[in-house]
Amino acid sequence: MISIYLIGAVVLAYLFGSIPTAVWLGQSFYGVDVREYGSGNAGATNTFRVLGTKAGLAVMLIDIFKGWTATNLAYFMGSSVTGPQAAAQFINFQLALGVIAVVGHLFPVFAGFRGGKGVATLFGMILAVHFQVALVCVSVFVVVLLLTRYVSLSSISAGFAFPFSIVFLFHTSVKSVLLYGMCICVLILITHQKNIERLLKGKESKVYLLRKKAEK
């Protein structure tokens, strides 16, 4: 049954996701719209390239928090989830709110529907749903980043680590989580299509985390 609380949670999840962290931070503190430089993407990776490590970390952490917060809005609806399959229903609701937040990040109402690729927001969602898997994903991300300096390749690798760790490390039986893991892989491949093309051509930009500010 659809209630005012359910509608409110869905709207809030989208609005949380729609917060254009990179755009607002860049314009407020640097006088720069990051969408006009680098890859033209309003996300943490392009912020690292355009504005440097400090700004990039701030954007990444806030975007992760967006996904985590939106997903955990499900707790405000917890009392309405009852029955023998309550746990699975609750996870499904978490996943639904997280997906809506990611959609908000991709198409933010506060920034002309020009957003980022949603990787950090996706991670926030994973963090809320399965903390241990989130640790595996971030470990894969960090290792690949240190080895290659490619954020795009690190994001793709971390995304694919999610379904594999769910199946082989934690043996999760909730079908919706497994389906979500496969959808993550598809979404990341779609949003990183240009990055993959540049990687194959050897033209993808690298990120050096110790650099204070990237060249515009």
Return the C-alpha torsion angle 120, 125, 129, 135, nearest 10: 0
pLDDT for position 215: 44
pLDDT for position 82: 52
pLDDT for position 2: 64
pLDDT for position 5: 79
End-to-end CA distance of the chain: 51
pLDDT for position 167: 84
Regions of the chain where pLDDT drops below 70: 1-2, 77-85, 173, 208-216
pLDDT for position 128: 92
pLDDT for position 214: 42
pLDDT for position 148: 92
